[in-house]
Each structure stands twice: as structure tokens, then as C-alpha cells.
Amino acid sequence: MASSETIKSSTAASYSGSQAKNRGSCGLKAELASLRKLVTECEDKIREGTIRRLPGNVAFLSDGRVLCRERSRGDSRYPYGSDGFNFWVNASGAMHGNRGLYFLFLPATSEGQEPPIGFFSGSRVEGGKEYVSHSILPTPFLDDGESEVVDRFTIIGHDATYFFAETSQLRTVVRVFLDQLRPEHAHINFSVSLENLTDGPIETYSSAYLNPFCRHQFVESSEDRWFKKISVDSHSASVLEQWNQREAGGTVLPPFVITTNEDVDRFSSVTNYALLRRVVSMRDNATGQEIKLNVQRMKHSTGTPEQLDSPGDILAQECTSRLNYLGGSPRRSLTSAEFLKTGQIEREVPLTVFNENATIGDLLRLKLPGGAALRADYIFSIPENSDVLDLEMNRLLGPLDVDGALTRVQEKTKETGDLSISVTGSQDSSIESDTFNKFVSYLKKQVAVCAMLKGYMSPSPNSLIGFRDVLQAIDGHLFDRPDEARFKILETMSHVLEDGRCPRQYSLPVNGAPGRTDLREFIDQGVWAISTVYNYLAVTGDVSLLDEQVGYHKITSADESVTYPSGKKDSVLDHLLRIMDYLGRQRDPETGLVLALYGDWNDALDGLGVSSDATTPFGTGVSVMTSLQLYANCAEIVEILKRYSPAPSDDSIGRYERLRSQLRAGLLKYAVVRQGEERRILHGWGDKRKYLVCSFKDSDGLARDGLTSNAFWVLSNMLEEDQSLQEDVLAALDRLDSPYGYITFNPGFAPDSPGVGRITKLPRGTAENGAAYIHATTFGIAALFQMGQPQKAWEQIAKILPFAPHHKDPSHSPFVMPNSYVNNPQLNLTGQSMNDWQTGCSNVLLKLLIRYAFGFLPAMEGVEISPAGWIPFEGFELKSLVHGRSICMKYERADVTQREFELNGQLLENILFNDVTSVSTVTVPYESLSKDQTNLIVVRDPLAS
């Protein structure tokens, strides 16, 4: 728990905008006007044909934000936050937030479901009976009022999201952003703007609705309302009066206080706190002057407010009862709420607990002067305890404070990390350089989200922290945020079992109780740990990681879905050796290759490890992909031991060298099958080698190709043992090609395919069963680069990039990587995706761009510079930090006869030619790079013919 001084200083820092520039409503108006100008410029250029609208009816604005218009299918979204705290904001207006298992707001998991957050506005002609209302957010959809909306769009940026809904009279906007001072201390800020576009006054209102959940679970039960209380704070009238006398602007309204209680076990329980603070202000846009507000309350005797005649008169209402906010009938929903027509909450309820679901609802009704703008700010926070709650409730608040918080967020988003990539001069119309550059910033964010997740990215009991998934993401994130990558490596290592077995998934403790663990023995988990730590050492040179003391977990016989710290600790290096030895023990005695057990990376194909003997849990089926990965791991761990182990034993080094030799022999003898002159690399085989997968005749009688075993034959450097296999690998990749990139298997598996497992339950052309499952596709692309096929590799990159023009009907965010493109026209599947954001293809794409396409390959002694022999851009610039040295690498085409390398103005001479990739390369020793200034490496290739 944070100290009181830390809490006090953090809370003070949270809203110190009164020291910032005087922005207020006037500043928000200028901000919104600037965004509207960017939208106009963007759509003018689209009409002129100088830029292209992206799939999904979105477009990049010139400042890198994303303009989202209504689309017929799917949605775009963005997660705000860091360190596993995610507040998801969708272009459709749907929002939810969680940090691990703690859900502040539950997601609406099906189309048309009532959202947990909503903002509404309406207007009526003077003297009219009813208001015509619309949702400021695109959801929920209000039939009566939507026809009055003449323009609606969403703007998503790294700092905030803006929802615009404009009628002939009003421009209504909701701005959403997250101010996260510490991982556990976040403020979700909503700013609502109602601008009168006419010269005369308008009778209008603004209403906010929030249904906070604030529990460590992802499904709402009928009992949760018993332990949830929301109240309008009733003891702060003097504080409100003090606040509203200050010069910072705005009138503070009473806050809503939320508490929920949860049982940890039979002996203890916890109370969770949340707080919604509010401040309202009004400004005359013509003069820029603030209009003094006169907040009024409903006369309970007559059910009417004071007259709203003066420009600053506002009726303010609050209601903590969802039933009464909607109008007193359980049949009503947000789309049929009574206030949408009456412009007032009929019955205000200041406290709700136990007998119905407590929610937050308010309504501000006024006569908005011509040309004036009303602004209402809502700040939702989650105080760690009651002391912090009291501090926040008594903290001064105004629109300046909110704008100051946004300024702070915007400054933080400018901190781009250690990695930056930009290209110039596109030579491929499907990969425009400006679009590609804007996409890279979202790709980096996507990798960071996957690397730092705390689990439960989806509201599902199995949405834990994937051991292999997070390690792969770390492998990409370490180029940008090595400190965060180091932290997460230590976390994953602490969940290894004492025998070196790694969990498939794990979760973090909740209120002191251990989290859930998925211990199904998918054999590949540990191989990713070895390669990720190896790459971390190569990029950072931080050898101290190997000496870090880390614990282990153990299984309890009572419940194998829960693991506990075992109490044993040793070094990260010791963990790696235990993992290696565990993997070395899980081998088929006949072939020497790694057993499939429950499955490998392609975990939908989980039938190979099934035993034909009912008395044993696993048979002798083999995973070729994991065998190839372990083959590469042997070389990595031997190098680590030779370089960094204080006293490496000849026995341990020799053990891994012998293991590598045995794997090599087994792979060459058993993993490659021949028919005539043609050879194929197997995906694996079943128990006792009774059937093969990806052979000339599989268990279903069909010849089949598989992507991952072919890709890792190259990526593991096994191809060096027989270079002639490259032709067979390339032929297999050609057979696996599709309009959306390489697919996992061709053909896919029919429902009656024997021996391969649950993959047969997936329709062919979806997910791992014959779709462009992009994580696997990127493995194949990396292999193409490594085989000296850069033009083919870039053709595949163009196919998988979500903003490429051939993606006509995307189902997810077209500015980050989706996890797949399905393709089965018979089932009406034509390029849609299963998911976005949480997918491993993002980190593999980032890594292959860095290491293979742009040729920046950090090694233990130096960085190899080796841009691919074909690049669809005239130039690029890559900045990174390796071994504590800042490097700026520039690529350009120049009047030279052959490739040149220059370091800090001096031509380099130690150039080698790589016969496989057919490019010149140079290795720059770290000792030759300055630690005090940026080192400029320039690569020049001859001008294109």
C-alpha cells in the first residue's frame, strides 16, 4: 500500500491544471475545432485522390489519429493505460475497463447489449412538449433522435478518443482519456461539450450514465447488487461552496461514491472504492468569457425546477437507481428512457444499495444561449483505500485541472521509447509510406499491450496470461522498453515449476489469493523462454538478469488449476537450465525428437500426443516445430553458458551440444519425407508413428503442407545442414499461399480427419485450420527473408497489413494487426478476423521488420547491419538503443556501385557477403560505438535501375 505522503502527492499531481494555461471550455472548443479541421482536410484529400480511405471506413489524419466513420461490419478500438491497466474505447462508443481480473466496467459482450457508459443530449423548440434526443456516443442507437444527427464520427488517438455528433442546432462531443499516475492509480476522464450552433437560445440537456462494476470477476451475478452501493455525497456542501468561489472556473457538483464488497475467503473480505467527480462550466464562444452558473434543484413539492430564464441557470439532477433514471419501469432501457422526451429525471434517488442495481445517472437541463458552449467534466477514479477516497473528494477541481491532466498525458505519449521506425518514398501502392509510418506507432502500442498484460483481456475464465504469448511479445517489446521487458521476464520465470515445466497460462494473485493456472502440457512453452532471454541479452547486454534470484511455483494435489510459490529460489540462469533439461527429457526414445504431449504452438492440433494405450496419458507423437526450436535453443544456451556463466561445467555444455546433435540427426532422418524428387517437412506424427501430418498421405488420405515446420526449419538454422531443402520449403510456401497471405495448412482438416484433435471442429478456412493465421504467416515471412527472398517477403507483408486495399470488409481495427483472415466463401467468410490487439503476430511482424527487412540484428558482441536486398521504399530510418549505445541507422539509395556502410562519417571496410541472403553485411562491435552520443550508421545501395 502506498504511504499517505505518496498518496497525497500523487493525488495533488493528478489535478494541478490551475497552474497550467487557461484553457477551460475555450481551450476545449479550440481543440475540437482543430480536430474538425483535420477531418475536413483528410476527407478533402480522399475526394481528391491524394490519400486513400482505409478498409473499415477509417482514415489516418495528418497528425496520426484515426478517423472512424460508421461501418457495416465490426468495430475499431483502442486500449488506454499501461502495466496491464486497459480502458478499452471503441469507435462505436462501447467502453469497458479492467486491470487483470478487476473489472471497473464490464464489456457489452453481444451486439445491441446495453452499454455500461452512455451520454445523451436533446433539444426542443421553445414551448414544445417533448425533447428530440440522441446519444452523443454512437451507441446506444436512438431511433427517434438519430435522424436529427447530420454528422457523426469518432477520432481515436494515442492520447484520447473524441465522439462527435452534430445536429442542425447542436454540436455535441464526448472526449475520453485516461490519466494514469501510477499503475494502480488511474483517472478516467470524460469531457462533454454541447455547443449551440444557432444565434438564439436552445432548450437542451446533457445526461451521463455509468454502470460501474468494480469487482474481481467478469460476469455479473444476481447477488452482486447486494454488495454494491452508490451514493451522492451529501456532506460536502461547504466544500462545494468553497470550490465554487475560486477563480479556476467551473461549478463543482456533488460527487458519486461507489463501494463494493468482496469476500477473499471465509475469514476476510475487501472493500473496493470508486469515485465520480463532476464539474460543469459554460462559456460564451463569441467573447471567450465564462458565464456564471446558477445551479438549481427540483422543487420536490411541485416537481418542477425554478425558471431557467437567465443564461447561467441549470437544473442539476442525480439518480443512483437505474430503474428511476430510466423512468420507473423495469420495461424501460437506455433507448426508451423517459428523460429522453421529458428532459428531466422524474424521481431522484441519492442512494441505492442491495435491492436493485446501483448506477450513476445525472441530468443537466438549461437554456443554452446562442453561440455558447456547455462543458461537463466527469472524473472516474479508483482510490486504493478510504483515506485516498477522502483526499480525492476534498481536492479542488475545475476544467483547467482536467485539461492539465490531458496535457500531461499528451506529453507522455510523445515519449516514444527506444525504438522508432520511419520510411520514405513508397514503391508499392499498397504500402504507402505515410500510412505505414502512422501504422508503426499503433503496432508498437499493440506489442506493449500484449507484453505487459495482467490477464483477462477478454471476459473469459481462460483469458489468463499465456506463458508463450507474453514471452514472444516481450521479445518484440524489449527493443522499445527493455526495462519493462526485464520486469516481465522475471514474472514469467517465477511461474516455472521446480522440474523446469512451464505453465501454458498463469494469472496473478487476487487480494492475496493465488491466481488460476493452466497446466496443460503444451510442450513448446519453455522454448520461448530460452530464445527470449537470449535475445534480451543480445539487445541490452544486461547480463545481471541471469543472476536475478527468482522463485518457482508448485502444484497442489487438491487443485491443479492453482499453483503456489514453492519457496525455492535460484537464478534466472538456473531456471533456464531446468527448462532445457525438462524439454530434453520429453523426447521420443526412438527418434530423439520432442514429444507433442498436449500440443505445440499450433495448439488447435492437439491430437498427436494422444496415446493408443489408455493407461498412459501421452503417446510418442512428435512435434517437429518444437524439436526445431529446441535445436536452436541448444546453441543459444551453450553460448550463454560460455559467455556469461561464472564457472560453466564441461558436462552441462557437453550435454546441450549432444542434445543438439541428437535433434539434428532425428530431424534429418524422420522429419523429412520423400516421394520421388519431392520432399516435405512434416508437422509431426502420432503415437508410434502410426500416421504422419503434412506428408504425402496424411491420416485422412490427403497430401498436405504445413506452414510452421517449414518456417522453423529455416528460422532454427536447420536449413544450413542441407541447403538443397530450400527449394522444397519454397515450393511448400507457394502451395500455402492465399489472397490474405500464407495459410496454416493446405488443405485444411475436415471434421472427420482422424488423429489431429480439436482442429477438426474449426471450419476449414478459419483460425488454425487453413486460414491465414497471421502469427504463423509472419513466421513464414521471416523465413523468406532468411532465405534471401525479400521481394516475396514484402509481397506477403502487403497481404497481411490490415490497411492494405484488398481488405474490403474487415471486422476489426484496421490500424493494428488482427490475428487472422478467414477465407471460406461457401460459409460467407471472406477476409474477416477473429480478434485484434491481443495477437502474437504483432510482435513477430515488428521483429521481422527490425531484424530481417531493415537488417538491424543485435548479437552478443556487436550489431549486424544487413538490410534486405529489396525494399519497397526509397529509404528508411531506424533508431534503437543496444548495449547502452544509441544508434540511428539510415538507409538510402545513392550513386554508388555497390552497398556501402558508414559509421559516424567513416566508411566501414569489414564487409562480408552473405551467400544465402545475397546481400552485403557488416558487424559493428559495441566497443566501437559511443556511449555518449547517437551513433549514425548509414547504408547506401545503388540507385534502382
- Summarised one tens digit per residue, pLDDT across range 352-401 is 999 899 999 999 999 999 999 999 999 999 999 999 999 888 887 889 88
On the question of pLDDT at 795 being above 90, the answer is yes
On the question of pLDDT at 14 being above 50, the answer is no
Query: How high does pLDDT run on average in the chain?
Result: 92
Q: Pick 100 or 887 by higher pLDDT.
A: 887
Q: What pTM does this model have?
A: 0.94
Q: Burial-class residue 126 by CB neighbours within 10 Å (0-12, 13-18, 19+).
A: exposed
Among 203, 211, 259, 241, smallest CA distance to 383 is for: 259
On the question of pLDDT at 666 being above 60, the answer is yes
Is residue 845 within 8 Å of 778, Cβ to Cβ? yes
Q: Which of 166-175, 385-394, 566-575, 904-913 has the lowest mean pLDDT?
A: 385-394
Q: What is the mean pLDDT of residues 66-75?
A: 94
d(C-alpha 296, C-alpha 307), whole Å: 9
Of the pLDDT bands very low, low, confident and very high (cuts 50, 70, 90), residue 143 is: confident
pLDDT reported for residue 247: 55
Q: How many other CB atoms sit within 10 Å of the CB of residue 310?
A: 15
**Run of H or E including 255:** strand 251-263
**Run of H or E including 206:** strand 202-210
pLDDT reported for residue 398: 87
Is residue 357 within 8 Å of 322, Cβ to Cβ? yes
On the question of pLDDT at 4 being above 60, the answer is no
Q: What is the pLDDT of residues 150-186, one digit of tens each?
A: 999 999 999 999 999 999 999 999 999 999 877 668 9
pLDDT reported for residue 3: 42
Q: How far is CA 902 from CA 72, 856, 889, 943, in A?
A: 51, 14, 10, 17
On the question of pLDDT at 244 being above 80, the answer is no
d(C-alpha 4, C-alpha 39), whole Å: 45
pLDDT reported for residue 237: 58
Q: What percent of the chain has pLDDT over 70?
A: 94
Alpha helices per DSSP H over 671-800: 707-715, 725-735, 774-786, 790-800
Q: Among 159-173, 279-293, 642-656, which range has the highest average pLDDT?
A: 159-173
On the question of pLDDT at 13 being above 60, the answer is no
- Which residue type occupies 894? A
Q: What is the mean pLDDT of residues 463-482?
A: 96
